[in-house]
Amino acid sequence: MNSKKDETKMLWWQPSLVLFGRLSSWIGGPIIVALFLGKWLDKKYSTEPKLFLLCVGVAFVVSTMGIVKDAREAMDRITNEANRAKKLKNKSEGDINREK
């Protein structure tokens, strides 16, 4: 018996949760990979802790770039939706003023 309108009301939080997950994965993913890769490279080449620190540094840069990219896309999407809503509001207000 739920209509489409009820479903969209229940899912208002979903985009923010998806964005949180994407940004969190940009933090955790590269760092976890760098930890294992750095330790393995240090054991293989006996260079402790140089390659480990290098891997963690590269992972930090990759994480930062990914977070900035995703955050910019999200901000652009939010701005576009706000502008679209503003245009629709102005258009509907113009229609109401013409009827008077």
Residue 4, in any domain of the structure: no
Regarding pTM above 0.85, the answer is no
As for how many domains the chain has, the answer is: 1
Structural domain boundaries enclosing 67: 20-99
Under the phi-then-psi rule, with left for phi > 0, alpha for psi from -120 to 50, and beta for the rest, what region is 12? alpha
Residue 11, in any domain of the structure: no
CA 89 distance to own-chain centroid: 28
Q: Are 27 and 78 in contact (CB under 8 A)?
A: no
Residue 80, in any domain of the structure: yes
In the predicted model, what is the mean pLDDT of the chain? 88
Residue 34, in any domain of the structure: yes
Residue 61, in any domain of the structure: yes
pLDDT at residue 1 tops 70: no
Residue 68, in any domain of the structure: yes
Question: What would the pLDDT profile of 50-93 be if each residue is shown by its tens digit?
Answer: 999 999 999 999 999 999 999 999 999 999 999 998 988 888 77
Residue 63, in any domain of the structure: yes
Residue 57, in any domain of the structure: yes
Instruction: Quote the pLDDT of residue 93.
Output: 73
Q: Which helix (H) or strand (E) holds 51?
A: helix 50-99
